[in-house]
Structure 1
Amino acid sequence: MSSIMTNAAAMAALHTLRSINSEMGVTQNRISSGLRVETASDNAAYWSIATTMRSDNNAMSTVQDALGLGAAQVDVAYTAMESIKDTLDEIKTKLVAASQPDVDKGKIQSEIAQLQSDLLTFAKSATFSGGNWLDVSGFGMQKIVASFTRDEAGNIALGTIDVDTAKTALFNSDPADYGLLEGEGNFSLGGLTVGASTASEFTPAAAPGTIELDGFTGPLSLALGDSIEFEMTYGGVTETIRIDGEDPALAIADAAGLVTHLDTAVAAAFTGFTATENSGVITITTTTPTGAAEASPVTIENLRARPGQLDILAIDITMVNDGDLAGLVDGVDRALSSVTTAASDLGAIKSRVDSQQDFVSKLMDAVDRGIGQLVDADMNEESTRLKALQTQQQLGVQALSIANQNSQLILQLFQN
């Protein structure tokens, strides 16, 4: 039925044209934005996932920056540690040189003092962005943000690489703790010697024999790891007589206090020997020589102080004897070993930071690719679709034009 009131064909053609125009608008928007899902109305689920992942990727970008900052801090600390290790090597060499006879210890000490200043300068200069892992005030954990994670429940967490400054700090201004190059203070044996040289002996006969350690003035503080020791030989047997430090530090005020500990140590090593003291002279006596031991000399040698942890900055060789120099060489060598271990730890941390930086960069790229799979428009498909819609639009306009001509045809019927 034809009607001049209702043009059904025109209505259908208009509806089709509107639909084509709508689809054309969607396609043009995808082409201009490059996104298949730009707003929540396009696809709520994909839009939600993409929005969350973009936010997480922004957080990982910040993690990447934090890793860069951490890498710089590690590099600065490691560079300083290398210089400090080399300087400790030089100090050790100077101490060995000072052990030779007829050297001017004062001049060598002047060189050591310059090297000591270098150690402190290197440690204090190892600062990046206000952080210093070699010169600290109290030990603690320094954290490098290394990862950003979200679990299946949506809970987020930050992963860190922890750096324990107790393992890297060379100096600590907190009086309760010591850095790797610090100790409770270097000590000598307070002038304690064995006779006039580095060894002394006597041969007991029927009467008691004595051997003297002269001139101890004290005081002496032995921290845990510290010791004073010497070798004692009697009857063909050599034992190390040693007084070990304690925690808290063992305080030996004077010769009488030293005898208390020596008496225990000597008696534990050799039966029948005791230690006594008279005006600072410590005498080790045997009262029971028997058999072949009667003709065997008692020898004491290699008297030395061994600090468990040396205060490198307090080394002063101008007044020390050869035994104490040996202890200082040993202490510097142990400090060098500690610094080497610390440098190794920093190297391992640096390697881990570099690895984490590479991983975070690759992970961010993977997340971007995943987001793209969800929301990016296929430009080949969209361009082809646009061409088809443009053709459909032209046909729709033509169909609407034809439908609108129906009323003109009815008018012609009345005119005829």
Structure 2
Amino acid sequence: MAFSVNTNAGAMAALQSLNATNKSMSTVQSRINTGLNVASTKDDSAKYTVAQTLRGDLGKLSAVTSSLNNAKSVTDTAVAGAEQISDLVNQMKSKTLETSDAGLDAESRKAIAKDLSALKKQINTIIDGSDFNGTNLLKGDGLAATLTNGKVSALQSISGTETLKVDNQGFTAKADTALGVAGTDTDIDAIAAAADGTAAKTAADAFTGKLNTFFGEIKTSLSALGSASRQIEGQLSFNSKLTDVVTSGIGNLVDADLAKESAKLQALQVQTQLGTQALSIANQAPQTILSLFR
């Protein structure tokens, strides 16, 4: 190779090698800083676009989970209210049976009738209060098909085509039929006004029949609400597992192996030092030409 002060091939080769090492060093440092092997479409277009699609699915799964959680809260509120009402109806049945005792005096029947009226008011209060975020599955006539009347629906999948629906149980109408509308205690007043044991038993039996019918309707509603709550919980559990799987899939595509990157970093640091030394040596080569002119 000819000696020249205009062209230093060795220095250019050393510089190219050092630039390549520095570029690799920058890539490794970026992977260590971000934890991502594919942080941009410039790194790997195929993997990046797939990961972006999966990230979109994660966002949709989050929306589905939020919808299911809302439906679960509404349903669980209704379950709590229905369970409490069933307890109160049982108390009313017991007290009504007590009033049918022929040996009970009139004053005692009146006192029990007051308890029955209080229990009825408590039932109506629970029906009105079983509300979550503006939705009440107990209050209403049970025939409405819109959210404004207490029906609730929730997304089940990211496609948005399948929904989970929980119908209004219509406790207001059912309670009015069994117990009388608010402010009207016809059956209870009949028990309180009974002149003798026979009349009291007749009034108590009539009221007991209505209570039994109401209690049967409550049991049906409890079964429906419990089933809906379990279904929602099952779907939430599946969504949670699916979210974990998708998250792991994204990680497999784009996450960096930090142990490998650490080893690469050590090697590149040594290569940088050697490249710098080689460039320094190559830059000193033209000085040897001066010895030819001494």
Matched with 1:333 is 212
Residue 114 of structure 2 is aligned to residue 110 of structure 1: yes
Kindly indicate which of the two structures has a greater share of residues assigned to helix: 2
Q: CA deviation at 1:365?
A: 1.6
Matched with 1:342 is 221
The whole-number CA distance in structure 1 between the counterparts of 2:257 and 2:276 is 28
Alignment of 1:122-141 (within 5 A): 122-136=126-140, 139-140=144-145
Residue 79 of structure 2 is aligned to residue 78 of structure 1: yes
CA contact (8 A) 2:75 2:166 kept: no
Find the residue that maps to 2:26 and give its secondary structure: helix
Find the residue that maps to 1:180 and give its secondary structure: helix
Alignment of 1:15-414 (within 5 A): 15-101=16-102, 103=104, 104=106, 105-136=109-140, 139-140=144-145, 142-149=151-158, 156-157=159-160, 159-165=162-168, 168-171=169-172, 179-183=173-177, 310-313=178-181, 314-319=185-190, 325-414=204-293
**Matched positions, count:** 274
Q: CA deviation at 1:87?
A: 1.3
The whole-number CA distance in structure 1 between the counterparts of 2:282 and 2:84 is 92
Matched with 1:2 is 3
Q: CA deviation at 1:74?
A: 1.9
CA deviations 1:106-165 (Å, max 9, x no partner) are 44432221111111011111112222111137622633434332xxxxxx3264321011
CA deviations 1:210-263 (Å, max 9, x no partner) are xxxxxxxxxxxxxxxxxxxxxxxxxxxxxxxxxxxxxxxxxxxxxxxxxxxxxx
CA contact (8 A) 1:145 1:158 kept: no
Q: Select between 1-10 and 94-103 the one with higher mean Cα deviation.
A: 94-103
Q: CA deviation at 1:61?
A: 2.4
TM-score (norm. length: structure 2): 0.84
Q: Where do 5+ consecutive residues of structure 1 fail to align?
A: 150-155, 172-178, 184-309
Q: CA deviation at 1:405?
A: 1.9
Q: CA deviation at 1:375?
A: 0.3
CA deviations 1:1-42 (Å, max 9, x no partner) are 222221122111111111111111001110111100001111
Opposite residue 29 of structure 1, the aligned amino acid is S
Q: CA deviation at 1:407?
A: 1.1
The whole-number CA distance in structure 1 between the counterparts of 2:145 and 2:283 is 85
Opposite residue 243 of structure 2, the aligned amino acid is M
Opposite residue 374 of structure 1, the aligned amino acid is L
The whole-number CA distance in structure 1 between the counterparts of 2:34 and 2:144 is 53
Matched with 2:196 is none
Runs of 4+ residues deviating >6 angstroms = none
Q: Percent identity?
A: 32
TM-score (norm. length: structure 1): 0.61
Q: CA deviation at 1:319?
A: 4.0
CA contact (8 A) 2:135 2:152 kept: no
CA contact (8 A) 1:146 1:353 kept: no
Matched with 1:276 is none
The whole-number CA distance in structure 2 between the counterparts of 1:366 and 1:315 is 61
Opposite residue 328 of structure 1, the aligned amino acid is F
User: Which structure would you say has the larger Rg?
Assistant: 1
RMSD: 2.3
CA contact (8 A) 1:34 1:379 kept: yes
The whole-number CA distance in structure 1 between the counterparts of 2:165 and 2:246 is 27
The whole-number CA distance in structure 1 between the counterparts of 2:283 and 2:19 is 16
The whole-number CA distance in structure 2 between the counterparts of 1:85 and 1:67 is 26
Opposite residue 122 of structure 2, the aligned amino acid is D
CA contact (8 A) 2:179 2:187 kept: no
Find the residue that maps to 2:39 and give its secondary structure: coil
CA contact (8 A) 2:113 2:188 kept: yes
Where relative contact order (Cα < 8 A, 6+ residues apart) is larger, the structure is 2
The whole-number CA distance in structure 2 between the counterparts of 1:319 and 1:25 is 90
Q: CA deviation at 1:324?
A: 5.9
The whole-number CA distance in structure 1 between the counterparts of 2:42 and 2:266 is 25
